[in-house]
Copies of this chain bind each other. A is one copy, B any other.
Amino acid sequence: MKIIVDAFGGDNAPLEIIKGCAMAVEKFDDVEIILTGDEEKIKEVAENEQISLERIEIVHAPDVIEMSDHPTELMKSKKNSSMAVGLRLLADGGGDAMISAGSTGAMLTGATLIVKRIKGVKRPALAPVMPNADGKFMLIDCGANADCRPEMLVQFAHMGSVYMKNVLGVENPRVGLANIGTEETKGDELRKETYALLKDEPNLNFIGNFETREIADGGVDVLVADGFTGNIILKTYEGVASMLSGKFKSVFKKNIFNKLGAAVMLKDLNDIKKSMDHNEYGGAPFLGVKKPVFKAHGSSKAITVCNAVKLVREFVSSDVIGKIAEDISGSAETEGEKKED
């Protein structure tokens, strides 16, 4: 299996990316990596840091798309960027999947325009897997589509279920609709219409509306939202978690007494940290495009990249794409899709 990795995406590129790829090939015998990016720089970093490039091929790409670039530049001034080159390679069959920790907007643009949508899929979605009391859940969509119609949310539910089942091994994933109350009549028009569709949808374990107050407690495997709401949930979640963790941290470090007090429970405190760690699940797949495209967290370290490779390996070998295509074409909601596109 050939996994393409953007060597110049993310805050810690290229060093941590290259390191992570080397870790991954060592861990997974069946994986080969294609790194895209400035060949000379990649080789230089590998040599300086004594990272083996065995089973890692380099495809040269002189440019980098920056966070400050408009996403559509990927198709224009930045078409020779490591991300664009990787996505074209993927679309042309030069690899089985693509991972980048670079600009989410550019990734989505490229995934949609270069890799292209699965037939019948109205909109691809960005679907991060996040920590909760059960371990993890998927939030879909999380920012790819700010304005959504109910049929799109129904497709998100299907795509998320297929991924959670096949990649993360969740039996019969529980699908919840992110809403401001549990009763069927709650929420805005979009939620009410989506609820009406979801409750009659076959091949879906729809458990009803899900209040975001419960989000950290578990009880849901796939949380469905329009991209605006999903992104609001994600960012509020991250913001509050980081603020509170910061408050505790500063208490623990305040003075020598507190430091000693905290030292006693260091292992337990680290368990909390680990349970909240986004590096654990590696990032977010883009679901709905023809090949596996995976967005690793912007602050990815080597271990994050290695975890991303692990997930993408499952993504490829369990044929999530084929199963999504099957699920979507079997859903009544795709009728009339041609007209809308």
A residues touching B (Cβ–Cβ < 8 Å)?
133, 143, 146-147, 178, 180, 187-189, 191, 211-217, 226-229, 231-233, 235-245, 247-248, 251-252, 254, 257-258, 260-265, 268-269, 271-272, 275-276
Known A180-B143, A180-B146, A188-B147; contact A247-B272, beta-carbon cutoff 8 A: yes
Known A228-B187, A228-B188, A261-B261; contact A216-B235, beta-carbon cutoff 8 A: no
CB-nearest residue of chain B to A240:
B240
Is the contact region of chain A dominated by helix, strand, or loop, or is it mixed? helix
10 nearest A-B residue pairs (beta carbon): A216-B243, A261-B264, A261-B261, A213-B235, A146-B188, A180-B231, A213-B239, A236-B236, A251-B268, A212-B236
Could you say which residues of chain B place their CB within 8 Å of the CB of A237? 236, 240
Could you say which residues of chain B place their CB within 8 Å of the CB of A242? 216
In the complex, the answer to whether B272 meets A251 with C-beta atoms within 8 Å is yes
In the complex, the answer to whether A212 meets B239 with C-beta atoms within 8 Å is yes
Could you say which residues of chain B place their CB within 8 Å of the CB of A254? 265, 268
In the complex, the answer to whether A265 meets B252 with C-beta atoms within 8 Å is yes
Could you say which residues of chain B place their CB within 8 Å of the CB of A276? 244
Residue among A229, A237, A243 with most chain B CB within 10 A: A243
In the complex, the answer to whether B247 meets A275 with C-beta atoms within 8 Å is yes
New contact pairs (12) apart from A143-B180, A147-B188, A251-B268, CB-CB < 8 Å:
A146-B187, A178-B232, A211-B235, A213-B236, A217-B243, A237-B240, A247-B272, A248-B269, A251-B269, A258-B265, A258-B268, A262-B265
